[in-house]
Structure 1
Amino acid sequence: MNNKNLKLRLDKVLSHIGVGSRKDLKKMVKEQRITINGELATDPGVYVSPYVDVIAVNKKPIKYREFIYLMMNKPQGVLSATEDRDDEVVVDLLEEEDWVFNPFPVGRLDKDTEGFLLLTNDGKLAHQITSPKKHVPKTYYAVIEGIVTDADADAFSKGVTLDDGYKTLPGELKILKSDTESEIELTIYEGKYHQVKRMFEAVGKRVTYLKRISMGALPLDPELELGEYRELTEEELELLKS
């Protein structure tokens, strides 16, 4: 459906973006705090075109959107989850205006891994990105204990066998610095549990720092500090979908 043709109840539009519950909105209409195209709303159940009509609450125009797409620079110590009894989770880092959309992390980053995490309430896109059949590339920067060699890059390019016997898809290992402590970038096309760490364990080395720097063709915004996030632009969303 064309967004311009979309018709929804006023109270559904406003509750979806976190203005209030339907009970709250009924009261706000009664208190003459909501307008539609400059006219006072008289019925919370009236149908509106949320992408066309100018809806204002307390004289402030609202921006309606069905889906939200957030790029976060996840810090260490925070779980890629929506809830946990003991630890802080990524949605705890969101402002109320964003978590009312009930976004969830797409895929996961380990608790001690930093970097690009996408959060959205668009289940279709999340499935496209995480589906094993899609082979969406993810690139990581890592610090490695040990000298990373061209032989390791060659092994990764053919796929390595993990500790449980699983052989990974070929990955692209770029050596940035080779020393007793090495620095690398690694692109993989699947998301097995602790995969990057286990791939290096398979060649006798240990990851001491890990950060995801891109998903698909979309890089992490270098301006985002750890724990910060922002909405994707239209262009970035198209890049991610491609």
Structure 2
Amino acid sequence: MAGMDRKQGQGRRTAPGRTANPSAAPKHGLARVLSKLGVCSRSQAEKAVREGRVQVDGRVVLDPERPADATRQRILLDGEPVGEAKRVYIALNKPRGIVVSAADERGRDTVYDLLKDAGLPWLGPVGRLDKASEGLLLLSNDSAWAARLTEPRQHVDKTYHVQIDAMPDAALLERLAQGVVEEGERLAAKQAVLLRAGEKNAWLEIVLDEGRNRHIRRLLAAHDIGVLRLIRVAIGSLPLGELAKGQWRHLSPGEVAALSR
């Protein structure tokens, strides 16, 4: 029995260089850890690591995928200790012609130009609005919250007011709800209603509960209808309200919680 006990004990020995408790081993790469802490985006973290600007327990790490654990290891970015950033959630009224990107290779204005000198930490966009679109855009450094809002299975409603170059009838509104298949993707509106009509164009309110690239523009183009203006006026229960173009505000804790549900 003593020999069997020794063999069993030997079988439980930890291989050199491995932790004795697999559940305690870091599960995320260094770049993802930095992103989840809210100090920068995933791509910015990868760049910083490759440039040798990140240290873990006193050693420079050049591999963004190397496992790391901020709760057990001392991580420095540009020589400064990295800790979990205070969570910030803002709503911004994006003007038309502004790019939703941290940097633009063509030198165009971005949403971050609207936030400079505001004293905010790094924030990432929660979803997108293309350059020609305007209206409500959320930004946050809470990557888990952002992921829940943008997860397709959550079906968070997004409401748009869309000016089109046509005079819609009831049949068209029904076809928008029925949807089309375009380039292998099904595009449909959860709801489409007429807001008002002029002599040559009209305004629709279109609600989506999923968001594909240029969803509304492609859906309307499939019916030979062009978009003159596209404004996102609400995300879930959060309205754009009276927020002026180019301006932003912090979300209240209640608004953050309501969007999470």
Q: TM-score, normalised by structure 2?
A: 0.64
Question: 2:202 aligned with 1:182, yes or no?
Answer: yes
Partner AA of 1:198 in structure 2? R
Select the residue among 69, 75, 82 that pairs with 2:102. 82
Partner AA of 1:228 in structure 2? Q
Query: 1:98 Cα deviation (Å)?
Result: 3.9
Where does residue 19 of structure 1 map in the other structure?
none
Which structure 2 segments of 5+ residues have no match? 1-38, 40-83
Where does residue 241 of structure 1 map in the other structure?
260
Partner AA of 1:229 in structure 2? W
| Separation of aligned partners in 1, 2:189 and 2:154 | 14
Matched residue of 1:198: which SS? helix
Partner AA of 1:235 in structure 2? G
Matched residue of 1:167: which SS? strand
| Separation of aligned partners in 2, 1:132 and 1:148 | 29
Percent identity, aligned pairs only, is 32
Question: Taking structure 1 as reference, are residues 196 and 170 closer, same or farther at Cα in structure 2, changes over 3 Å only?
Answer: closer
Question: Taking structure 1 as reference, are residues 173 and 98 closer, same or farther at Cα in structure 2, changes over 3 Å only?
Answer: farther
Question: 2:135 aligned with 1:115, yes or no?
Answer: yes
Contact 2:162–2:228 (CA under 8 A) maintained in structure 1: yes
Could you report, residue by residue, the CA deviation over 1:199-242 in whole angstroms, capped at 9, with x for unpaired residues? 111122111001000011111131x1110001001221122112
Where does residue 217 of structure 2 map in the other structure?
197
Query: 1:181 Cα deviation (Å)?
Result: 0.3
Matches within 5 A, 1:208-227: 208-222=228-242, 224-227=243-246
| Separation of aligned partners in 1, 2:257 and 2:186 | 32
Query: 1:191 Cα deviation (Å)?
Result: 1.4
Query: 1:198 Cα deviation (Å)?
Result: 0.9
Matched residue of 2:154: which SS? coil
Select the residue among 173, 190, 194 that pairs with 2:192. 173
Could you report, residue by residue, the CA deviation over 1:184-207 in whole angstroms, capped at 9, with x for unpaired residues? 110011111111111111122111
Q: TM-score, normalised by structure 1?
A: 0.69
| Separation of aligned partners in 1, 2:189 and 2:203 | 20
Select the residue among 101, 107, 113 that pairs with 1:92. 113
Query: 1:104 Cα deviation (Å)?
Result: 1.1
Which structure 1 segments of 5+ residues have no match? 1-15, 17-63
Where does residue 22 of structure 2 map in the other structure?
none
Q: Which has the larger radius of gyration?
A: 2
| Separation of aligned partners in 2, 1:212 and 1:87 | 21
Matches within 5 A, 1:112-191: 112-162=132-182, 164-179=183-198, 180-191=200-211
Could you report, residue by residue, the CA deviation over 1:44-78 in whole angstroms, capped at 9, with x for unpaired residues? xxxxxxxxxxxxxxxxxxxx971110100001111
Where does residue 73 of structure 2 map in the other structure?
none
Contact 2:188–2:219 (CA under 8 A) maintained in structure 1: no
Partner AA of 2:251 in structure 1? L
Partner AA of 2:151 in structure 1? S
Partner AA of 1:77 in structure 2? G
| Separation of aligned partners in 2, 1:134 and 1:202 | 26
| Separation of aligned partners in 1, 2:117 and 2:230 | 29
Partner AA of 2:123 in structure 1? P
Could you report, residue by residue, the CA deviation over 1:125-170 in whole angstroms, capped at 9, with x for unpaired residues? 11111111111110000110011111121112222223x1321244
Query: 1:95 Cα deviation (Å)?
Result: 4.0
Matched residue of 1:183: which SS? strand
Partner AA of 1:156 in structure 2? L
| Separation of aligned partners in 2, 1:91 and 1:227 | 11
Higher deviation after alignment, 205-214 or 149-158: 149-158
Question: 2:244 aligned with 1:228, yes or no?
Answer: no
Query: How many residues are treated as equivalent by the alignment?
Result: 177
Where does residue 227 of structure 2 map in the other structure?
207
